[in-house]
């Protein structure tokens, strides 16, 4: 019998991507979807590409909870805490694609999101769903905070060097570039085609909310308090994030040591592809898939490690990773439903 999946916020980009991926998942099925803006309407009216393939009608949030074994929430920040509590109370698994459960420190949550933890105990039950780092903690859990897009890509790119103490944890820079779907479905002046097309710029420089989340992950991995500089940029493409991460290589450490560390660290990770020396990670090669391509480069003149990580922000950076987490929770092979070959063009 298939896992019954409910998707709250199904008409946003992350929600719609979840629907698409779950629909072809061999051991799960979408049983109900909700949307505040499109209540009573068909998802395929919002996204005509789904016509005949998913013509489900958006219901109330409460109906979605009722009908599901697991609820995915793809909601604006701040709207998941109550829903999560309700799901847990009713024995449903809950995966939040928003930020409400990602930060362990309420202080940081307040500082970056201007919100409070409604139920501190519930937050303690939440696990941060980046399987390549925290797989063992996810197993058997019911409440997963699915990481953001930048916060998946940046730590994956630099983790092996940090875990193995090959680079300094001070002064790390994450210069990230994201496709536009990361900004969501709502039209804005900045994402109006003629104003974004043929443009490129940074935004929320050193003030983006993914900063503390990346730091939390890197701090856990390193056992040290890590503060990073995070600068996101907006790419005129639909999908993909490239994180170019810079770290100071510790004295005496060689490229070979670093390369070995990466190979060892990711040797069993299906979704991480470490590229051969001389290659550069490209968002083009991971589109529509759950892969994270990583290339590492050594600037011997300045003694810097430069690690590039590329993901599809809507898959490994959102819906795909959420399904990976679901697979872990339900004891399935992590790859189930996610063995997608990225198109070559």
Where does this chain touch a second copy (CB under 8 A) — which range of 44-52, 71-79, 92-100, 156-164? 44-52
CA separation for the pair 245, 63 (Å, rounded): 43
Degrees to nearest 5, angle at CA 50 with 44 and 52: 85
Is 93 or 323 the residue whose CB approaches a second copy more closely? Answer: 323
Judged by CB under 8 A, the chain residues 121 through 160 that form the site for a second copy are none
| Angle between helix 150-163 and 255-265 (nearest 10) | 120
The two tokens of residue 123 are: 């937050």
| 193 binds a second copy per the rule CB under 8 A | yes
How many binding residues for a second copy (CB under 8 A)?
Answer: 90
CA separation for the pair 16, 20 (Å, rounded): 6
| 217 binds a second copy per the rule CB under 8 A | no
Confirm whether 308 is a catalytic residue: no
| 42 binds a second copy per the rule CB under 8 A | no
Residue with tokens 């919100």: 115
Closest CA to 99 of 216, 2, 196: 216
Per CB under 8 A, the list member of 89, 136, 192, 254 interacting with a second copy is 192
| 326 binds a second copy per the rule CB under 8 A | no
| 238 binds a second copy per the rule CB under 8 A | yes
Pairing of strands 28-34, 143-145: unpaired
Exposed, middle or buried, 46 (CB in 10 Å: 0-12/13-18/19+)? middle
> Exactly one of 58, 87, 149, 308 is catalytic; which is it?
149
Shortest Å, Cβ 340 to a second copy: 8
| 284 binds a second copy per the rule CB under 8 A | yes
| 210 binds a second copy per the rule CB under 8 A | no
| 268 binds a second copy per the rule CB under 8 A | no
Active-site positions? 149
């Amino acid at each position: 019998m298939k896992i019954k999946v409910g998707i709250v916020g199904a008409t946003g980009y992350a929600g719609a991507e979840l629907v698409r991926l779950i629909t072809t998942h061999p051991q799960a099925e979408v049983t109900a979807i909700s949307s505040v803006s499109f209540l009573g309407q068909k998802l395929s009216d919002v996204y005509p590409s789904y016509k005949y393939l998913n013509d489900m009608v958006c219901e109330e949030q409460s109906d979605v909870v009722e009908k599901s074994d697991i609820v995915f929430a793809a909601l604006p920040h701040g709207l998941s805490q109550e829903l999560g509590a309700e799901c847990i109370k009713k024995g449903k698994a809950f995966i939040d694609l928003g930020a409400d459960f990602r930060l362990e420190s309420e202080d940081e949550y307040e500082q970056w999101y201007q919100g409070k933890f409604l139920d501190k105990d519930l937050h303690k039950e939440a696990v941060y769903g980046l399987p390549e780092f925290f797989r063992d903690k996810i197993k058997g859990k019911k409440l997963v905070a699915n990481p953001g897009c930048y916060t998946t890509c940046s730590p994956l790119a630099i983790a092996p060097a940090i875990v193995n103490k090959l680079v300094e944890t001070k002064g790390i820079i994450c210069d990230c570039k994201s496709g536009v779907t990361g900004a969501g479905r709502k039209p804005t002046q900045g994402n109006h085609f003629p104003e974004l097309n043929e443009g490129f710029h940074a935004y929320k420089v050193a003030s983006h909310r993914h900063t503390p989340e990346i730091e939390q992950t890197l701090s856990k991995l390193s056992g040290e308090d890590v503060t990073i500089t995070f600068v996101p940029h907006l790419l005129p493409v639909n999908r993909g994030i490239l994180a170019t991460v810079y770290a100071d290589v510790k004295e005496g450490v060689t490229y070979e040591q670093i390369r070995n560390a990466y190979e060892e660290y990711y040797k069993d990770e299906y979704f991480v592809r470490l590229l051969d020396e001389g290659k550069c990670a490209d968002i083009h090669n991971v589109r529509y898939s759950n892969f994270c391509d990583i290339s590492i480069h050594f600037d011997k003149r300045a003694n810097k490690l430069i690690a590039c990580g590329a993901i599809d922000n809507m898959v490994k950076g959102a819906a795909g990773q959420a399904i990976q987490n679901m697979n872990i929770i339900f004891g399935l092979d992590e790859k189930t439903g996610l063995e997608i070959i990225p198109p070559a063009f």
